[in-house]
Amino acid sequence: MGFLKPPKIPAPPPLEMPSVDDVPEADDPELIAEQEAEQRAKDRKRKGRRSTILTGTGLNEIEDQNINKKTLLG
């Protein structure tokens, strides 16, 4: 099978480095304030969902009651 030759791979295009002109600084106070405002808004929305789940109230009352009653099925 000497007649099969692997295809030639074309050269990749030259690498272009991105420009760093419009990159914000890490310690930008406006950027930090905007991120904190977004996080507070997310926390407010999440609090509404958490307030509807009642896992801590009412379960202790069920444990105190006698639940082991015989059923009609057997």
Q: If you average pLDDT over residues 13-23, what whole number do you get?
A: 87
Contacts of 25 (CB under 8 A, 6+ apart): 31
pLDDT recorded at residue 66: 59
Residue 15 reports pLDDT greater than 90: yes
**69 or 19, greater pLDDT:** 19
CA distance 33 to 7: 56
CB 31 within 8 Å of CB 24: yes
